[in-house]
Amino acid sequence: MILVTGGTGLLGSHLLFDLVSAGRPVRAIKRETSNTGMVKKVFSYYSDTADELFGKIQWVDADIMDFRAMDDALEGIDHVYHAGAVVSFYPRHHKTMLRTNTEGTANLVNLCIDRKIRKFCYVSSVAVLGRAVNDGISDENTWWQPSNKNSVYGQSKYGAEREVWRGMEEGLNAFIVNPSVILGPGFWDGGNSGLFSLVWKGLKYYTRGVNGYVDVRDISRAMILLMDSNISGERFIVSSENISYQQLFEYMAKYLGKPAPSINVPPALTGLAWRVEAVRSFIMRSKPEVTKEMATTTAQVYTYSNEKLRKAIGFEFIPVEQSVKEISEIFLRDHQA
């Protein structure tokens, strides 16, 4: 049986869909307060039998920080996909994110070693790569470098990835995937899917920054192919294309039928924006719309190579424009319902 962590998130829900659609027995952990409704919604995007497929998942309430609960969840499991993580660029979440992502992964790695799990997949991030000091294209050998440009999220994933490498040294049969910015449907109120909502509402601004992007379906497919292969002890960047934020927003605007953002925000103004927003949110006691980490990230040029994955398993990616087009179609259906 397969265990999936992070099953109620964007990547986890697509991974669960692919696994149960293939007839794989799956157990997924969730918090008691988690809502699985969005998982079922994601299933409905791709199947007319969403309820039937969703019913094949064995849900277990467990917190990744709870060693005993996770030990129980691993009973009878032979393969693990660890996609669960706290993702946030807001300072008030930093301590929780660092602890959960790093210590929670350490807990799971230790349990998988003890239980002699057959194979383990860890979902890391390109945020752990040494992009802050690399002038060219980052690849799997571009190792982490300390820098004030590294996000706290990146620090937490770097710590977690080190735990997985440590587990491999202790005998864990594992591999790591490092996705770039994930594009997918359904979670329109936040995260990367929330960008579609911003463009729909009339986003006017863009930056000159560049990043890597990948369709969520490609990540799920790559994880399963790597899990079913003899490959282990490796990590793989999972990224389709490197494009500018301007180009991404133009794709979104095109397929959502909205005007494309037309005002370029230079780096100096993004620095001013997060400072003004920090003051406003403090006075209003609300969550800031722009943080220092967001402003820093969108102003940088980050590019990634996907050659290792292409060569290892003959993988072909969905082009970013096609991905945006198909996600936009789902967005429009959701907002017309």
The fold of the 2-184+213-240+303-319 domain, in CATH, is: Rossmann fold (3.40.50)
Angle between helices 37-46 and 10-21 (to 10 degrees): 60
Largest CA distance in the chain: 55
Residue 52 neighbours by CB distance under 10 Å: 11
- Rounded Cα distance between 238 and 252, Å, is 21
Does the pLDDT of residue 295 top 80, yes or no? no
d(CA 178, CA 194) in angstroms, rounded, equals 21
Residue scoring higher pLDDT (219 or 130): 219
Q: Which region among 53-57, 87-91, 95-99, 106-110 has the lowest average model confidence (pLDDT)?
A: 87-91
Q: How confident is the model at residue 282 (pLDDT cuts 50, 70, 90)?
A: very low
Provide mean pLDDT across the span 313-317: 96
Q: How confident is the model at residue 133 (pLDDT cuts 50, 70, 90)?
A: low
SS3 314: coil
Residue 205 β-bridge partners: 263
Q: What is the mean pLDDT of residues 141-163?
A: 85
Distance CA 112, CA 105 (A): 10
* Arithmetic mean of pLDDT, 78-98: 82
99: Cα within 13 Å, side-chain hemisphere:
7
Q: Where are the chain's structural domains?
A: 2-184+213-240+303-319
More confident residue, 228 or 269: 228
- Considering the chain, what percentage of its residues have pLDDT values greater than 70? 87
Mean pLDDT of 168-181: 97
User: Per-residue confidence at 163, pLDDT binned at 50, 70, 90?
Assistant: very high
More confident: 273 or 124: 124
What pLDDT sits at residue 73? 94
Tokens 């199947």 belong to 47
Packed helices 216-228 and 10-21: angle between N→C axes, nearest 10 degrees: 50
Q: Quickly state the pLDDT bin for 70 (edges 50, 70, 90).
A: very high
Chain centre to alpha carbon of residue 213? 11
The pLDDT confidence band at residue 300, using thresholds 50, 70 and 90, is confident
Would you place residue 89 in the very low, low, confident or very high pLDDT band (cuts 50, 70, 90)?
low
**189 vs 337, more confident:** 189
Determine the Cα–Cα distance for residues 227 and 184; give it in Å rounded to an integer.
Answer: 22
| % of the chain residues with pLDDT over 90 | 63
With a threshold of 0.85, does the pTM exceed it? yes
Task: Identify the residue with better confidence: 133 or 56.
Answer: 56
Burial class (CB in 10 A: 0-12, 13-18, 19+), 203: buried
What is the spatial distance between Cα 97 and Cα 156, in angstroms, rounded to a whole number?
7
Do 261 and 298 form a contact (C-beta atoms < 8 A)? no
